[in-house]
Amino acid sequence: MNIRENLVPLYLTGIASLFTSCGNPAESPKPNIVLILADDMGWGDLGINGNILIETPVLDRLAVQSLSFDRFYVCPLSAPTRAEMLTGRYFLRTGVSSVTSGYENMRSDELTVAEILKENGYATGCFGKWHNGGYYQQHPVRQGFDEFVGFCVGHLGYYFDAWYLHNDENIKSTGYTSDYFTDKALDFIDRNKENKFFCYVPYNVPHSPFQIPEKYFSKYNSAGLDSTLSSVYGMVENMDENIGRILQKLDGLGLTENTIVIFLSDNGPNTTRYNGEMKGRKGSVDEGGVRVPFYISWPAAIKPGITSQLAQDIDIMPTLLSLCNIGYNPVKAVDGIDLSVIIHRKSKPFDRYIFSRQAFQQLERCNASVRDNRFRLVRTGNDTLLYDLQTDPSQETDISGRETDITMKLIEKLSKWENELVADYIPVTTVEAGFRDEKMFTLPVQDAILSGEIRYSSIHPNQSHTENWVQNGDSIYWTLNIHNGGTYQVEMQYGCPASLTGSRMSFYSESESKSLIFTIDKAFESEILPDRDYVKRSESVERTWTWMDIGVVNLKPGPEKMTIKLIEKNKNEAALLKAIRLTKQ
């Protein structure tokens, strides 16, 4: 008997009457929806999935109160999964191909599930990590959400008392990230308890950097786990408690019965740890990189249990809309399948192909795989391998040599899928700005092209700043398309100690053919925030910053290129640069 079978009698005792008669959803009011997404959490990061080291009582209980899709698949990395989940379309179709430098940006004309729900009377809120673009039209409040509290980039640099966006305004939070996002989600639910609502809670844990309130870390570290595992499991346990707070809020408001609650993760585990003996982790197209937990609960209409139906993130939008009896006419083809008949037990599980692809902008270098109910074919730069997952779930034995017909069939399916998507892929790396109602826009250096000796402060451009401004003539630039011309005040976000002031730089607008020459004459000590990492980070350290005025430019509609250039350094290095900001006058 597995752990789940042991837990079912315990969790269903006392709530059996809740599931004895599930009504026809067509006869009931449209349900509320709470969609919870973990970040870098693996299938094996749950007690119910056989992990004896972690405590996740809330999610373990939710699993057995839900219909659990035992074989649910997402993308190997974060931004592609989110784009697929929100649109029901494969990530390359949406303009997304990676996680930073503009390649995480989803096209603004993509129709999201939030937009459809909003059009059908739902209040919509997003609280946490967006990661599908942060410019004006890509922002969550222009992609169907009435309210957004969180951050738009791929990862957060600091998890305590951090800066976030509330819609279009910067706000300073208090406390720990997951606690704060939960507080905001609870407030949203409370304010919309008399309305239908869609509450999307994309937590940013257990993504690195590994910061967590000390009591969670110490619990696992004192039990003998290393710092990385103690951090990951502490972050997951904290998230588990916060999910419990959301479920308690629904219960306290009498909303549980008619609320759909979904939980899943955006990719496989971000470190090597227990993952059910599956091969691969985050970034991999093997089973362990793309298989995640998926639970869907709706006491009024869904009986709990486990289904073996193959499913994936592109199915979430069409399935949710069908469960809510909402019709829509997509302009662009939807790739996902409506699985409501599986959820309502009106159809038996069927076979299908689940395609997976690495997320990199260098499209020709990507590993890819395809699986059906039995086999997974994995194609890398060096090999094409076939595994029988029924007899070899850990992918230990390549059988492509003896199962040539199956291998060739799956190669053909994968190649056809890839060729179609790659041929139509158009990245969204040009910054669209200057909209009529857009008061200002910020250009972070992660979206700039760097020249000369300038480098990012870490291997991850997300949340990085630029440093090593040591060579006269070096520059960075952004490519934009300005929709409406206008006069803008230009500012630069920087840090520079007193010992390095005096360097001369320029800001150049190509459309205006004008350079603003300025000197960094005001010192600002860019201090690294207190070290709260339990594991040495690969991300950039988080610092304090200030802004300085550069001057005024008159932008013209159309293509634009903006450049920051070092004209003459005064000492060894000019400054640290984080972003530029343009405010409409």
Helices and strands (H and E) in the chain: how many: 12, 29
Does residue 353 belong to any structural domain of this protein?
Answer: no
Residue 287 lies in a domain: yes
In contact, 367 and 279? CB cutoff 8 Å: no
- Given a cut of 80, whether residue 22 has pLDDT beyond it is no
Give, in order, the Cα–Cα distances in Å from 91 to each of 118, 362, 381, 405, 460: 23, 15, 21, 29, 21
Q: Cβ contacts of residue 186 below 8 Å, gap of 6+?
A: 245, 246, 249
Question: How do residues 245-283 score in pLDDT, each as one tens digit?
Answer: 999 999 999 999 999 999 999 999 999 999 999 999 999
| Positive or negative: CA dihedral 390, 391, 393, 395 | negative
The answer on 408 and 288 residing in a single domain is no
- For the cut 60, the answer to whether the pLDDT of residue 398 exceeds it is yes
Q: CB–CB of 440/582 below 8 Å?
A: yes
Q: How far apart are CA 577 and CA 468, in angstroms?
A: 10
pLDDT tens-place string over residues 46-97: 999 999 999 999 999 999 999 999 999 999 999 999 999 999 999 999 999 9
Which one of 407, 424, 441 terminates a domain? 424
Q: Tell me the C-alpha distance between 576 and 553, whole Å.
A: 23
Asked whether residue 24 carries a pLDDT value surpassing 60, the answer given is: no
| Positive or negative: CA dihedral 342, 285, 377, 45 | negative
* pLDDT class of 314 with cuts at 50, 70, 90: very high
Distance between CA atoms of residues 246 and 68, nearest Å = 19
Cα Rg of the chain (Å, integer): 25
Contact call for residues 452 and 471 (beta carbons, < 8 A): yes
pLDDT-based confidence at residue 11 (cuts at 50, 70, 90) = very low
Domain span including residue 409: 363-424
Write down the pTM of the prediction.
Answer: 0.94
Does 375 lie in the same domain as 275?
no
199-221 pLDDT tens trace: 999 999 999 999 999 999 999 99
The pLDDT value given to residue 376: 98
Q: What is the pLDDT of residue 531?
A: 97
Q: In whole angstroms, what is the distance from residue 48 CA to residue 409 CA?
A: 36
Question: Is residue 294 located within the same domain as residue 380?
Answer: no
Instruction: Give 285-289 contacts, CB < 8 A, sequence gap 24+.
Output: 285/76, 285/356, 285/357, 285/358, 285/367, 285/368, 285/369, 285/378, 286/369, 286/376, 286/378, 286/395, 287/371, 287/376, 287/389, 287/393, 287/395, 288/42, 288/43, 289/76, 289/356
CA distance 275 to 287: 10
Residue-wise pLDDT for 524-549, tens only, equals: 999 999 999 999 999 999 999 999 99
The CA distance from 386 to 383, in Å, is: 10
Of 237-241, 327-331, 530-534, where does mean pLDDT reach its minimum? 327-331
Peptide bond into 209 cis (omega under 30): yes
Q: What average pLDDT does this structure show over 111-115?
A: 98
Assess whether pLDDT exceeds 70 at residue 339. Answer: yes
Domain membership flag for residue 355? no
Predicted local confidence at residue 28, as pLDDT = 60
- Where residue 369 sits, what CATH number does that domain have? 3.30.1120.10
Cβ-based neighbours of 510, under 8 Å, separated by 6 or more: 559, 560, 561, 562, 563
Does residue 327 share a domain with residue 196?
Answer: yes
Query: Of all helices (H) and strands (E), which one includes residue 119?
Result: helix 113-119
- If asked whether residues 437 and 420 sit together in one domain, one would say no
51 and 88 share one domain = yes
Q: Which of 5-9, 153-157, 343-347 has the lowest mean pLDDT?
A: 5-9
Please indicate, yes or no, if residue 14 is contained in any of the structural domains.
Answer: no
Q: What pLDDT was estimated at residue 364? A: 76
Q: Which residues contact 567 (CB under 8 A, 6 or more apart)?
A: 472, 473, 504, 505, 506, 517
- The tens digit of pLDDT for each residue in 139-197 reads 999 999 999 999 999 999 999 999 999 999 999 999 999 999 999 999 999 999 999 99
**Do 326 and 455 share a domain, yes or no?**
no
Check if the beta carbon of residue 157 is closer than 8 Å to that of residue 542: yes
Final residue of a structural domain among 424, 448, 477: 424
Residue 29 has pLDDT above 90, yes or no: no
Region 397-408 average pLDDT? 98
Q: What is the pLDDT of residues 406-433, one digit of tens each?
A: 999 999 999 999 999 999 899 999 999 9
Phi/psi at 86 (nearest 5 deg)? -75, -25
Same domain, 455 and 380: no
Residue 342: strand, helix, or coil: helix
Q: Is the pLDDT of residue 17 over 90?
A: no
116 and 220 both lie in a single domain: yes
Query: Position 60: which residue type?
Result: D
- Across the chain, mean pLDDT equals 94
231 lies in some domain = yes
Q: Tell me what percent of the residues of the chain surpass a pLDDT of 90.
A: 92
For residue 503, what is the domain's CATH number?
2.60.120.260
Among 424, 440, 469, identify where a domain stops.
Answer: 424
- Percent with pLDDT over 70 in the chain: 95
Q: Looking at the structure, do residues 415 and 466 belong to the same domain, yes or no?
A: no
Position with higher pLDDT, 55 vs 16: 55
pLDDT of 18 above 50: no
Please indicate, yes or no, if residue 198 is contained in any of the structural domains. yes
pLDDT at 7: 39
- Answer left, alpha or beta for residue 579, where phi above 0 means left and psi between -120 and 50 means alpha: beta
